[in-house]
Amino acid sequence: MARFRTLDDLDVRGKRVLLRADLNVPLKDGVVTDATRIERLAPTIEALIAQGAKVVVMSHFGRPQGRPDPTLSLRPLIAPLAKAIGGRDVAFAADCIGDEAKTVVGALRPGEVALLENLRFHKGEEANSPDFARALAELGDVYVDDAFSAAHRAHASIAALAHLLPAAAGTLMEAELAALTAALEMPTRPVLALVGGAKVSTKLDLLRFIIGKVDTLAIAGAMANTLLFAEGKSVGRSLSERDMADNARRLLALASSRGCRVILPEDAVVAAALEPRSAARSVPIDAVPEDMMILDVGPRTVGLIGAALEEARTLVWNGPLGAFETPPFDRATMEIAKKVAELTQAGKLLSVAGGGDTVAALAAAGVTDQLTYVSTAGGAFLEWLEGRELPGVAALAVGDAP
Ligand code: 3PG
Ligand code: MG
């Protein structure tokens, strides 16, 4: 991977630092329901404050289609952000560029913090407009990007702006890139990938890339049904993508030609419907009743994946194993989450997980803090697992910068 400048390479004393954050957090009735992204950003702000910088935080929020939308204002984030940095004041500019922003930023003294209104209130942000990037650049002397979870977007505050000012990765971006590099680029082998979720069709690129990288690939969730169907198994009324059978067979052939061992479910938890507390039972995978749905992997498969985890030194995990939001179909996901946590805590496994559902499942299992790294990125994490270059990462590279 390319080298990056970090905060250590920047002299920020007395300077205005434009800090690209991802404050795109879940908000309900004006209240933040999961502050993880804010809490993980705080150390970068604290470090900049400690060095006497004037910190100008900017972020997108939701998808306002390039015009102001009061329901997508960043105002409700002022208080949570202030709380995350020890109760310090956070000034607010009601527009992210122009006179309003200049006045607010101009009033900052070293060690003070301002938050700019939603970047996506301007069309130029998503268009990666050079003019919009220049308008942002007027507000800062240096640029720091701590928004890995938005790094798959070639937007002005992520791509164009990084080339206008001295740029560096913040501590969160650094940690995220270090974890992903340790998991996929320079891993300790054997490497196990555990991929679940609903559809093969949305993860074809990911599976193809992963097959070339890992020693073992365990596939679970409804997407496994598609592979089982392609292998001629009956999956009853289970969610599956029958039109993906050819693709599924090609993936399995690719795995065997690349020497990647594939673990597919050998048994399944089935029920008549996806309903809480439905009557569920485990059956061998070639005995799925025609009128039933596969809603989780069975105990034998949990054992197989558990054994693969014990052999592995590195794990990359994306996607739940079953319909984990609806107990009892959360069992396999919870058991595997706990096993991953145990092995990681015992120093036997480097574990990296990410994606919205996976993060929710790990939180439900109460083990988020016990993995090596849990990424709060959704789309960016997936695109990384597809082997794609992320614009926000490429823009920070030293030397071979675009
Ligand atoms: C996210 O929440 O996944 C990021 O903030 C990116 O948001 P977007 O999908 O609206 O670009
Ligand atoms: Mg998203």
Give the position, in ligand 1's atom list, of the atom nearest the Cα of 379. Answer: 3
Tokens 């984030």 belong to residue = 77
Q: Is 149 in the pocket of ligand 1 (CB under 6 A)?
A: yes
The partner residues of 331 in beta bridges, in order of sequence, read none
Residues 6+ apart with CB under 8 A from 237: 290, 291, 292, 293
Phi, psi of 32 (to 5 degrees): -70, 125
Nearest CA to ligand 1 atom 4: 150
Nearest ligand to the CA of 376 is: 1
Give the DSSP per-residue string, 108-153: PPTT-EEEE--GGGSHHHHTT-HHHHHHHHTT-SEEEE--GGGTT-
- Please tell me if the CB atom of residue 351 comes closer than 6 angstroms to any atom of ligand 1: no
Its pTM stands at 0.91
Residue count (the chain): 402
Q: How remote is the CA of residue 380 from the centroid of ligand 2, in Å?
A: 9
Residues 70 and 79: their CA atoms lie apart, in Å, by: 17
- The ligand 1 atom at the shortest distance from the C-alpha of residue 63 is 10
Averages of pLDDT over each 10 residues, the chain, 402 residues: 86 97 94 92 98 98 97 97 98 98 98 98 98 98 97 98 97 94 92 94 93 97 95 94 95 97 98 92 97 97 98 97 95 98 98 92 95 93 93 85 40
| 304 CA to centre of ligand 1 in angstroms | 35
Q: Ligand 1 centroid to 288 CA: how many Å?
A: 38
Give the closest residue to 93 by CA, choosing from 66, 122, 64, 65. Answer: 122
Q: Concatenate the DSSP letters of all residues of 345-362 into one string.
A: HTTS-EEEEESHHHHHHH
What's the CA-to-centroid distance between 379 and ligand 2, angstroms? Answer: 6
- Cβ pair 44, 171 in contact under 8 A: yes
Give, in order, the Cα–Cα distances in Å from 394 to each of 9, 129, 148, 158, 160.
Answer: 18, 18, 11, 10, 11
Q: Residues 75, 80, 84, 87: is their CA dihedral positive or negative? A: positive
- Positions annotated as catalytic residues are 37, 199, 356, 379
Q: Classify burial at 235, counting beta carbons within 10 Å of its beta carbon; exposed 0-12, middle 13-18, buried 19 or more.
A: buried
Ligand number, closest to the Cα atom of 22? 1
State phi, psi for 58 to the nearest 5 degrees. Answer: -135, 150
